Structure 1
Amino acid sequence: MPASALVHTVLHKDAYPAATRAADWRLHAACAGLPDETVFAHRPKPALPALRACAICPVRRRCLETVAPAESWFDGVSGGRLWRNGKEVRIPTDLTPEPDLAVDYPDHP
């Protein structure tokens, strides 16, 4: 599945009926609405906005459990870590993300 289709399926709020939206953890993800190239980045620098979002995300653990990067050979950001082919990518210390609290993220429950 192309990344854009996955993002639409995972993050597009209008794709689900109201009853489903209330219970769907993906709609509460801090990365909802970030561009594909950020969420599915292969390198640390382009992934920084998604990693910053993870730092304040209320569904971080659920994301990591559901995506299961090591088992799915995932490429991108999940659970506050960057993955390439299911292996965690080391983030250089000069790029270590800190949460950008000035960014206006969607409301979380």
Structure 2
Amino acid sequence: MSEPSAVHTTDAGEASGWRRSAACSGLSPAVVFARRAADAAPALRACARCPVQRQCEETVAPADTWFDGVSAGRLWRNGQPVALDGTHR
């Protein structure tokens, strides 16, 4: 079963450009769309060195789309950032 795409845009060329540069581009969708911090850890580590965090957050718009998974260095559940280590990131 295929995971949903995190990108919601009308300009597929622009979206694929930044997605190719994303540090998470080679990770399994199960990791990128994980709901638990332990499962999402590889994606969160990738975000720490990602050059396209801003484009990721703007395109995914996690707070506006009830997103579940990792976007722009944060783990999101139902569009809300998940507290990691006792703080919101």
CA–CA separation in structure 1 for the residues paired with 2:66 and 2:18: 22
- Greater gyration radius: 1
1:38 aligns with 2:38: no
Moved >6 Å (runs of 4+): none
- Tell me what 2:59 maps to: 66
Q: Percent identity?
A: 56
Q: Alignment length, in residue pairs?
A: 81
Which runs of 5 or more structure 1 residues have no equivalent in the other structure?
11-15, 94-109
Which runs of 5 or more structure 2 residues have no equivalent in the other structure?
none
TM-score by length of 2: 0.79
1:81 aligns with 2:81: no
For residues 48 and 87 of structure 1, do their structure 2 counterparts lie closer, same or farther at Cα, with a shift above 3 Å needed? same
Which of the pair is proportionally richer in strand? 2
TM-score by length of 1: 0.66
- Tell me what 1:6 maps to: 5
**Aligned CA-pair RMSD:** 2.3
